[in-house]
Structure 1
Amino acid sequence: MFISPMLLHKSDEPFDSADYLTELKLDGIRFIYSVDDAGKVRLYTRHKNEVTARFPELTALDVPPGTVLDGELIVTDNDGKPDFEAVMSRFMSSRATTPISLVVFDVLKAGSKSTTSLPLLERKVILADVVPNDTELLSKVQFVEGHGANYFDAVKAQSLEGIVLKRKDSRYDVGKRSHNWLKVINYQYADVFVTGFRKKEFGWLLADADGRYLGVMEHGVPPVEKQRVYRAPIAKETDDFSYLVSPIKCRVKFRNYTKADLLRIPSFVEWLA
């Protein structure tokens, strides 16, 4: 049974509130783990793509029939941190055998009954009953009450993705984005140069001060800022790209550097020239 997951809004800053639970934001792939009344397991992405056959090791977990769990599929690196590129590599290949873990943070159905209308804290208690023991394959995300600012500082010190702040009394809003769940991303910042742009779909080519390619910026650029690049003098063109005579310096925020030393999901912050 697929249940469309509840989605998060963004918060620019962490905060402390006794009305919220604070969790680590895991850098992986959102998964719905479903066990029907007959005990058959089905795995879904957030977009309702069934991917059960790709992860046979998750089909024999000790989860009771009539259960639907919400969580994140991750692969951990040698330091025990989630590795997004590694989990995507495992996800995209039917032959890969990289060890994966499903870390769950909510229960949407238990004992064949919906739990989505219950407050979050009650669902956490039920989740602890459904998954009493954490294993390498299946575990529960840890949480604290309040202390969002300190938790976020610890996340930054460990170069992790961010935190999630959830109202204790929040119901599970199926298929909706809710301000009751907030994500605070641990962005990194860099001063880079826009060297050109894609011609067929939006995307700015980025490079560092030495001209080393850093990837394509596709998000977070206000329409008024786009015009500065499109009006700039063009040095040369190909079928797919236009290259500027003079690169334009700007600041971007991004999730992290990829293994190829590219910026992951760069987003425009401001012009620097």
Structure 2
Amino acid sequence: MLLETAPGPFSHSEFIFEPKVDGHRLIYSQQAEKVRLFTRHNNDCTRQYPELLLSFDSDIILDGEVACTDPETGLNDFEAVMSRFSTKQASKITQLTHKLPATFAIFDILFYQGRDLRKLPLVERKMILHSLSLPSSNFGVVPHIEGAGEELYTQIEAMGMEGVVGKRKDSQYLSRRSKDWLKVINWSYADVFITGYKKSEFGWLAAVPDPTGKMRPVGIIEHGPSPKHKQAFHGVCQQLVTGEDKNHVYLEPRIQARVKMRSWTKSGLLRIPVFDQFIV
């Protein structure tokens, strides 16, 4: 079940609200005491997370996020969990199990003790989920509150966490995107210069000045601009071309834009930048 995006924080008596965990989606499936782990795209990632291959008291299917915690900030570390996900070598996986332990943050239960639970209202699924005995401290249930989405968002924003998810109390579990589940992202913002664009598909090259005044690339803007924004950009950019290669056309850093993003990466790149507006 996938999330739609809400235009902003909201409160509603028919919704529960929970913190959005900054990791990657994980389906935990235990059948005949054998545990398998899958991403939302049905990619098997069982071998990447040996600390999560522990059994419950019955066959079960759970939905949640696998995450790693930054020991310095106590916040979810998206880059750390991506490092865990991309590691394939057995010895390295064992090493990272101790260095970057994974946590499975569970927010839904789809099957338990021979029953398909997907048609139950969410609040009933939550009750069953909270009654489980978890197999280790690497498992946790995502907490939630009723109604007070704006209050929770204020707390999430102050802590620098990713955002909030609102879910209808009576929602069934649907294997598609649904407005019954809504995400509110705690965006960060940055002002960047557009220093070029991709030839084959849409993408604006973004950069910021370093302490010496030289432009430092920080990523590619692939989402956000309307057709009018794109038209305005192309009306100006042809006067600013400085060169090109097989994949890109390069521009003088004269066009400035504000982008929203999830965060800065540790290597100084924009994480999932989305165009917000031109700065004139």
What percent identity do the matched residue pairs reach? Answer: 43
Q: Does 1:227 align with 2:234?
A: no
* 2:157 partner letter: K
* 2:217 partner letter: Y
Q: Give the Cα–Cα distance (whole angstroms) in 1 for the partners of residues 66 and 179 of structure 2.
A: 24
RMSD: 1.5
Q: Give the Cα–Cα distance (whole angstroms) in 2 for the partners of residues 28 and 10 of structure 1.
A: 18
Residue in structure 1 matching 2:47, options 40, 53, 56: 53
Q: Give the Cα–Cα distance (whole angstroms) in 2 for the partners of residues 48 and 224 of structure 1.
A: 37
Kindly state the Cα deviation for residue 246 of structure 1 after the two structures are TM-superposed: 4.8
Deviates more, 1:88-97 or 1:115-124: 88-97
Q: Give the Cα–Cα distance (whole angstroms) in 1 for the partners of residues 272 and 232 of structure 2.
A: 21
SS of the residue aligned with 1:239?
coil
* 1:228 partner letter: A
Q: For the structure 1 residues 184 and 85, does the alpha-carbon distance in structure 2 shift closer, same or farther, using more than 3 Å as the test?
A: same
Equivalence for 2:103: 101
8 Å CA contact 1:35–1:64 kept in 2: the answer is no
8 Å CA contact 2:220–2:273 kept in 1: the answer is yes
Kindly state the Cα deviation for residue 220 of structure 1 after the two structures are TM-superposed: 1.7
- For residues 145-195 of structure 1, the C-alpha deviation after alignment (integer angstroms, 9 at most, x for no partner) is 11111110111111100000011111111x211111100000011221111
Q: Does 1:84 align with 2:78?
A: yes
8 Å CA contact 2:193–2:253 kept in 1: the answer is no
**How many residues of Structure 1 are paired with residues of Structure 2 in the alignment?**
264
Q: Does 1:248 align with 2:259?
A: no
Equivalence for 1:3: none
Kindly state the Cα deviation for residue 133 of structure 1 after the two structures are TM-superposed: 4.5
Q: Give the Cα–Cα distance (whole angstroms) in 1 for the partners of residues 10 and 253 of structure 2.
A: 42
* 1:180 partner letter: D
SS of the residue aligned with 2:151?
helix
Equivalence for 2:269: 262
SS of the residue aligned with 2:127?
helix
- For residues 48-93 of structure 1, the C-alpha deviation after alignment (integer angstroms, 9 at most, x for no partner) is 11111222221124x1332100000000001221100000001101
Alignment of 1:15-30 (within 5 A): 15-30=10-25
* 1:35 partner letter: Q
Equivalence for 1:67: 60
After the TM superposition, list the runs of 4 or more consecutive aligned residues in structure 1 that deviate by more than 4 angstroms: none
Q: Give the Cα–Cα distance (whole angstroms) in 2 for the partners of residues 176 and 159 of structure 1.
A: 29
Q: Give the Cα–Cα distance (whole angstroms) in 1 for the partners of residues 254 and 58 of structure 2.
A: 59
Q: Does 1:121 align with 2:123?
A: yes
In terms of fraction of residues, the more helix-rich structure is 2
SS of the residue aligned with 1:208?
strand
* 1:193 partner letter: F
Q: Give the Cα–Cα distance (whole angstroms) in 1 for the partners of residues 52 and 135 of structure 2.
A: 14
Q: Give the Cα–Cα distance (whole angstroms) in 2 for the partners of residues 184 and 214 of structure 1.
A: 25
**What TM-score does the superposition give when structure 2 sets the normalisation length?**
0.90
Question: Unaligned stretches of 5+ in structure 1?
Answer: 1-5
* 2:184 partner letter: V
Kindly state the Cα deviation for residue 136 of structure 1 after the two structures are TM-superposed: 2.7
Q: Give the Cα–Cα distance (whole angstroms) in 2 for the partners of residues 57 and 207 of structure 1.
A: 40
Equivalence for 2:139: 138
8 Å CA contact 2:17–2:144 kept in 1: the answer is yes
Q: Give the Cα–Cα distance (whole angstroms) in 2 for the partners of residues 245 and 162 of structure 1.
A: 36
